[in-house]
A and B are shown apart, each in its own frame.
Chain A
Amino acid sequence: MSDAKAILKENLWSNNPIFMQVLGICSALAVTNLLVNTMIMTIGVVFVMAMTNLTVALIKGFMPRKVRMMVQTLIIAFYVIIVDLLLRAYLPDISRALGPYVGLIITNCIIMGRAEAFAQSNPPLISMWDGATSGFGYMAVLLTIAFFRELLGFGTLFGIQVLPDAFVPWTIMVTAPSAFFFLGIIIWIGKTIMNREGAAA
């Protein structure tokens, strides 16, 4: 079980897909202006990642090495289609707001990265855990960005008004640049703490 714990810590913090590896930010930043959208999107990513890692770990014995990239892409696409159909059926509004970004989970480099780096050489269950925890690490960073963007951009959290009416929303928080600024700041904080830890050890 200590293995599972080590993986959790590594994927949430010391090897966090976003601020340590700077991967998979393509499809991510666009959805962080509202917490609800971010939540749904990252739950989708966690699901796709866990299932992809599980599937890859299960069938790695039968997969010819030469075509494994293509096979992995198809596995990812398969799960993304499931997520997309579910969203369309049960949450049509959010599905419309997310637009093409659900489909873009396919090209999220983190998923392919974890499948390559972990699932190819580990048993199924622990691979699934690795996928899920990487997803959580991704979720944590995105929710942090979304929290500030929605709070300052709309004065709301999860659509509920929290700041008084006197607060003037910052228009820039709704537009693209703020996502980059927040991501930069989060990378900065993460790396600084990491450097301190490294220096102390």
Chain B
Amino acid sequence: MNAAPMLNPFALFFASIFTSNILLANFLGMCSFISISKDMKSSNGLGLAVTVVLTITTALNWVILNYVLIPLNVEYLRYIVFIIAIAAVVQMLEMIIDRVSTTLYMNLGIFLPLITVNCAILGVSLFMEIRNYTFLQSVIYGLGSGLGWWLAIMALSAIRKKTDKAPVPAGLKGPGITVITIGFMAMAFIGFSGMLAVQ
């Protein structure tokens, strides 16, 4: 995991959507995933918001890491710096969207505060750092992971529409059956891993 992977950008893009899906293979972004996936419309909005924020923050954190933290030799501060950068990006996006379009704000804006505490955002930045990605790879990895998350939450909320009406045991209702459904989805996504991997 320490060596820089010599993946071509195209392979990295698809690997981060399917085989190394940030949610199903790395378990990131689960909290909001389980609570929001009850409703398909919200899932769509949150998925879009996560994709936008992930792409921007991964690129921004790459620049901060390589041009500020490493030259100053203060890499151990990266957790604090990354989380502040993420919070700042989210805050700014919220203000910009509010100015530009009210409908977009209604669809997207309400999900933005949720995103600061979404583990996927910080997780992708940390993976980017551990795997020594280049700038281009970081952007692609951020975008691909966001799309993968979006795909996973849409699929899950569609499945949940059915399982909500299914006669499952009382103790398994709600989060229990949802987690097991995610397990089956994870198995399906692992099926792609013979094609390419990014570890």
Q: Which A residues form the contact surface with B (CB < 8 A)?
A: 22-30, 70, 73-74, 77-78, 80-81, 84-85, 96, 99-100, 103-104, 106-109, 112, 172, 175-181, 183-185, 187-195
Q: Which residue of B lies closest to A179 (CB)?
A: B27
Given A81-B76, A85-B76, A189-B171, verify A100-B183 contact (CB < 8 Å): no
**Inter-subunit contact B119/A27 (CB<8 Å):** yes
Contacts of B123 in A (CB 8 A): 26, 100, 104, 107
Would you call the interface of chain B mostly helix, strand, loop, or mixed? helix
- For the complex formed, measure the closest distance between the CB of A199 and the CB atoms of chain B, giving whole angstroms: 10
**Inter-subunit contact A25/B171 (CB<8 Å):** no
Given A70-B87, A100-B123, A107-B117, verify A192-B169 contact (CB < 8 Å): yes
Contacts of B184 in A (CB 8 A): 177
Which among A84, A104, A109 has the highest number of chain B CB atoms within 10 Å? A104
* Interchain CB contact (< 8 A) of A104 among B28, B76, B171: B28
Q: Does B42 contact A (CB under 8 A)?
A: no
Which among B127, B129, B182 has the highest number of chain A CB atoms within 10 Å? B182
* Interchain CB contact (< 8 A) of A30 among B26, B126, B130: B26
6 residue pairs, one from A and one from B, having the closest CB atoms: A180-B183, A192-B171, A100-B126, A184-B180, A26-B119, A191-B171
A88→B128 CA distance, assembly (Å): 19
Q: Does B56 contact A (CB under 8 A)?
A: no
Which among A26, A27, A180 has the highest number of chain B CB atoms within 10 Å? A26
Given A85-B76, A184-B180, verify A175-B190 contact (CB < 8 Å): yes
Contacts of A81 in B (CB 8 A): 76-77, 79-80
- For the complex formed, measure the closest distance between the CB of B118 and the CB atoms of chain A, giving whole angstroms: 7
**Inter-subunit contact A29/B27 (CB<8 Å):** yes
* Interchain CB contact (< 8 A) of A109 among B28, B117, B127, B173: B117
In the complex, number of A-B residue pairs with CB atoms less than 8 Å apart: 131
**Inter-subunit contact A26/B30 (CB<8 Å):** yes
A190→B190 CA distance, assembly (Å): 29
Contacts of B24 in A (CB 8 A): 176
**Inter-subunit contact A84/B76 (CB<8 Å):** yes
**Inter-subunit contact A107/B170 (CB<8 Å):** no
A193→B172 CA distance, assembly (Å): 11
Q: Which residue of A lies closest to B82 (CB)?
A: A103
- For the complex formed, measure the closest distance between the CB of A100 and the CB atoms of chain B, giving whole angstroms: 3
**Inter-subunit contact A180/B34 (CB<8 Å):** no
A81→B123 CA distance, assembly (Å): 15
Q: Given A99-B1, A194-B171, 18 other A-B contacts at CB below 8 A?
A: A25-B30, A26-B119, A26-B120, A27-B28, A29-B30, A30-B26, A73-B87, A81-B79, A100-B123, A100-B127, A107-B83, A176-B26, A180-B180, A181-B183, A188-B169, A188-B176, A191-B172, A191-B176
29 contacts between A and B (CB under 8 A): A24-B31, A25-B27, A70-B87, A81-B79, A81-B80, A103-B78, A103-B122, A104-B28, A104-B122, A106-B83, A107-B118, A109-B31, A180-B179, A180-B182, A181-B180, A181-B183, A183-B179, A184-B172, A185-B180, A187-B172, A187-B175, A188-B169, A188-B176, A189-B171, A191-B170, A192-B170, A192-B171, A194-B171, A195-B170
Given A70-B87, A177-B190, A188-B171, verify A103-B183 contact (CB < 8 Å): no
